[in-house]
Chain A
């Protein structure tokens, strides 16, 4: 994947954390590029099965896209905190350097940085920066017995509206009652136990509930 594609993916991920819907124009504005170049990138990312782009302009991360995006974002956060906390680089330079380096830096160097920061108690705080990002994952990976907050539902329209009518709504808290290795899940939604197929759950993004 090219450097700029990674940037697009990262921005889409960041937008997905704050916005309900992501449109081409949002991405263009954030990266300060034209709509058509975003469209090109979108086309390529779709081909790589990292995002889905719906006909009325909504962009959504696929499961693998999410994993990829989190990896890049993780690198970015780590690099930036290394620059700021260890090297005492200014915030703005740290940001742009991290942006540039995140695409090329080797796994080994990253590991060493983490090791260095771990050994240095002074910068423990900064490590949390990495963890402060809400951990978003698909519902089929949720641990049974733990409450989760619905982050985003990305099913087909018909299933999505049915889920909403059954009370599965974004920002709502639900409990995963049962989640085996395969087969459907049992979720407690609005006080009712619902059996929900694994495929549907794979299209619902959640994060740990506070």
Chain B
């Protein structure tokens, strides 16, 4: 008996494959309640019964005839990689449709286990499934699970360990859709048992929400209200926590005064505290933002937003499904760009991908928050909301421009599943948020730390020049680059900050922290070195020019060099022009 087995998770979108993947391997892959969360195969390992299982989580697909890129990944994997067996995950509350893929898989004769997920919801509907009869009809082992609560996993693993044979269905599986659906209907009649229906008050209540969420007028209003509340909530709670953190940072700065070695002291104070410290400081905002996005994803609201926004998106030559990647762009542009794989046509994908960088991501948020707090006080929230809106308008402009010039094709009609509302599962939201916070810390500890130390190095040497002065290396570089940004009113230090911002937007803060070191917090220092109008124009530039190197890399890998270059040039150009216009307008005021 081999002690290594490869098992692939296959199922229709939103059936809970990634939840099962997490339950099996103990990983923390991102889950959400909307079709198309997983767009790439993911691998994880676990050991049980002296066997090492390699679990492969595949993107959901409605059938084995792919309709979009992510579905193709699954089909290609099944055809080329030949896993030892598959687990077909189905949403047991939508059995009739989910069985369609199951029957197609059975006809491929791949050894499989049939995992009935969300059996708790089925019970609530007053139904139960005769697993034994089911297993006999399909000729495969059948297990009931509740993946997100880790229930039914042990029986599943023991079947996995016993080994799985190719399916031996009772009757031959038909090929044509019509016939397959006749089969699924027959099978369901045989396996579904009616039990006592539980009173489900939440369902009634949630349907009432849908009246508003899907209403042509109230729907968009509700959406913008939600966004506004989300931002407010992020600011309100974030601000409280941050004020404690800032005090701690100031205290540490004082504490490092006792260090004797001047170089070590400078690294600690100017490099680590002012540079990296200012980035780490803002982690509560990141956590709250992702908490909010994750809440939306888990509740099933994303599908509603896609429906409500479809009308508007058609004006841009897109459809409602493109709205989901755009919305996710507020979290992080990189996965958002990858999510476009679930869109059907190339034109639509490219258009959406080029819009996403203008969606203000969580990397830009800390910069906005700090500046808004420093310069605009209580009006800060409004400034940040204004920036978000300006970003959205720029994305719309980009789409319209592409529609009028290069990508003229009409968008195909929307065709997507509307997931049911589920009460957000706190553990999921917490896990998703924690995942992002960890990533943020990791980024601060690696990329941002290294670049900041590099910046410190450039600022410190030659040591006679005075830290971060015009004569230091960084000063020479900054002076050399700054003519390009002079017309916008940015000095050479701000120029350096923007250059390092190419790598990651958080670095704007680190480099300002390094270049304007002071005993007090960065926000007080900033107030002394620039006026609020310049700060505002600076924020606009940060909002619009390329988000980070990772975004460019992912645009290139999802499209080609041509579009990645276009995105870089277009965004810098737009940033420059818009900033210039605002500076000009503000000078008149």
Spell out A's residues near B (CB within 8 Å).
Answer: 158-159, 161-167, 169-170, 172, 178, 180-184, 186, 189-200
Question: Is residue B303 within 8 Å, beta carbon to beta carbon, of the partner chain?
Answer: yes
Q: How far is the CB of B220 from chain A (nearest CB, A)?
A: 11
Contacting residues, chain A, for B413 (C-beta < 8 A): 159, 184, 196-200
Contacting residues, chain B, for A199 (C-beta < 8 A): 413
Complexed CA–CA distance, A22 and B63 (Å): 29
Known: A184-B307, A191-B95, A194-B416. 16 other contacts (CB 8 A): A158-B67, A162-B415, A163-B415, A164-B178, A165-B62, A166-B415, A169-B177, A178-B214, A180-B216, A186-B214, A186-B307, A190-B94, A191-B94, A195-B307, A195-B414, A199-B413
Q: Which of A162, A169, A197 contacts B319 (CB 8 A)?
A: A197
Question: Is residue B513 within 8 Å, beta carbon to beta carbon, of the partner chain?
Answer: no
Q: Knowing A195-B310, A196-B413, say if A167 contacts B97 (CB, 8 Å).
A: yes
Pair B97/A196 contact, Cβ less than 8 Å: no
Nearest residue (CB) in A for B182 is A169
Q: Which of B62, B178, B310 contacts A169 (CB 8 A)?
A: B178
Question: Is residue B580 within 8 Å, beta carbon to beta carbon, of the partner chain?
Answer: no
Q: Knowing A195-B310, A197-B414, A197-B415, say if A166 contacts B97 (CB, 8 Å).
A: yes
Contacting residues, chain B, for A195 (C-beta < 8 A): 303, 306-307, 310, 320, 414-418
Contacting residues, chain A, for B416 (C-beta < 8 A): 194-195
Pair B420/A190 contact, Cβ less than 8 Å: no
Complexed CA–CA distance, A166 and B67 (Å): 12
Complexed CA–CA distance, A21 and B95 (Å): 31
Q: Knowing A165-B62, A165-B65, A165-B100, say if A194 contacts B417 (CB, 8 Å).
A: yes
Question: Is residue B96 within 8 Å, beta carbon to beta carbon, of the partner chain?
Answer: yes
Residues 92-116 of B, flagged 1 when their CB comes within 8 A of A and 0 if not, give 0111110010000000000000000
Question: Is residue B181 within 8 Å, beta carbon to beta carbon, of the partner chain?
Answer: yes
Q: Knowing A178-B214, A199-B413, say if A166 contacts B62 (CB, 8 Å).
A: yes
Q: How far is the CB of B15 from chain A (nearest CB, A)?
A: 11
Q: Which of A165, A182, A190, A191 contacts B63 (CB 8 A)?
A: A165
Question: Is residue B311 within 8 Å, beta carbon to beta carbon, of the partner chain?
Answer: yes
Q: How far is the CB of B63 from chain A (nearest CB, A)?
A: 4
Q: Which of B63, B96, B311, B420 contacts A183 (CB 8 A)?
A: B311
Q: Which 6 A-B pairs have the closest CB atoms?
A: A197-B413, A164-B177, A193-B418, A197-B414, A190-B97, A199-B413
Q: Which of B177, B307, B414, B418 contacts A165 (CB 8 A)?
A: B177
Contacting residues, chain A, for B216 (C-beta < 8 A): 180-183
Pair B415/A200 contact, Cβ less than 8 Å: yes
Pair B414/A196 contact, Cβ less than 8 Å: yes
Q: Is the interface of A mostly helix, strand, loop or mixed?
A: mixed
Pair B181/A169 contact, Cβ less than 8 Å: yes
Which of B181, B307, B415 is most buried by chain A, counting CB atoms within 10 A of its CB? B415
Complexed CA–CA distance, A194 and B418 (Å): 5
Number of interface residues of B (CB under 8 A): 30
Contacting residues, chain A, for B420 (C-beta < 8 A): 193
Pair B311/A182 contact, Cβ less than 8 Å: yes
Complexed CA–CA distance, A178 and B219 (Å): 13
Complexed CA–CA distance, A155 and B417 (Å): 19
Contacting residues, chain A, for B181 (C-beta < 8 A): 167, 169, 172, 190
Nearest residue (CB) in B for A158 is B67
Complexed CA–CA distance, A205 and B389 (Å): 42
Contacting residues, chain A, for B412 (C-beta < 8 A): 159, 197
Pair B97/A191 contact, Cβ less than 8 Å: yes
Complexed CA–CA distance, A129 and B589 (Å): 76
Complexed CA–CA distance, A184 and B413 (Å): 8
Pair B310/A189 contact, Cβ less than 8 Å: no
Contacting residues, chain B, for A193 (C-beta < 8 A): 417-418, 420
Q: Which of A161, A180, A183, A198 contacts B65 (CB 8 A)?
A: A161
Contacting residues, chain B, for A181 (C-beta < 8 A): 216
Complexed CA–CA distance, A197 and B65 (Å): 21
Complexed CA–CA distance, A165 and B13 (Å): 14
Contacting residues, chain A, for B100 (C-beta < 8 A): 165, 167
Complexed CA–CA distance, A98 and B529 (Å): 92
Contacting residues, chain B, for A162 (C-beta < 8 A): 62, 65, 67, 415
Pair A186/B418 contact, Cβ less than 8 Å: yes
Q: How far is the CB of B392 from chain A (nearest CB, A)?
A: 20
Complexed CA–CA distance, A166 and B415 (Å): 10
What are 11 sample pairs from A and B whose C-beta atoms fall under 8 A apart? A164-B177, A165-B100, A166-B62, A180-B216, A184-B413, A186-B418, A189-B97, A196-B415, A197-B310, A197-B414, A200-B413
Which of A165, A194, A199 is most buried by chain B, counting CB atoms within 10 A of its CB? A165
Q: How far is the CB of B157 from chain A (nearest CB, A)?
A: 30
Complexed CA–CA distance, A172 and B180 (Å): 13
Complexed CA–CA distance, A167 and B412 (Å): 20
Chain B stretch 305-332: residues in CB contact (< 8 A) with chain A: 306-307, 310-311, 319-320
Contacting residues, chain A, for B306 (C-beta < 8 A): 195
Contacting residues, chain B, for A182 (C-beta < 8 A): 216, 311
Q: How far is the CB of B22 from chain A (nearest CB, A)?
A: 24
Nearest residue (CB) in B for A171 is B178
Q: How far is the CB of A171 from chain B (nearest CB, A)?
A: 9
Complexed CA–CA distance, A162 and B413 (Å): 13
Contacting residues, chain A, for B95 (C-beta < 8 A): 191
Contacting residues, chain A, for B320 (C-beta < 8 A): 184, 195
Complexed CA–CA distance, A198 and B94 (Å): 24
Complexed CA–CA distance, A191 and B414 (Å): 19
Complexed CA–CA distance, A178 and B214 (Å): 9
Contacting residues, chain B, for A170 (C-beta < 8 A): 178
Chain B stretch 416-431: residues in CB contact (< 8 A) with chain A: 416-418, 420
Q: How far is the CB of B563 from chain A (nearest CB, A)?
A: 25
Which of A159, A170, A172, A191 is most buried by chain B, counting CB atoms within 10 A of its CB? A191
Contacting residues, chain B, for A194 (C-beta < 8 A): 415-418
Chain B stretch 29-69: residues in CB contact (< 8 A) with chain A: 62-63, 65, 67
Pair A192/B94 contact, Cβ less than 8 Å: yes
Q: How far is the CB of A38 from chain B (nearest CB, A)?
A: 29
Contacting residues, chain B, for A180 (C-beta < 8 A): 216
Contacting residues, chain A, for B67 (C-beta < 8 A): 158, 162
Complexed CA–CA distance, A197 and B416 (Å): 9
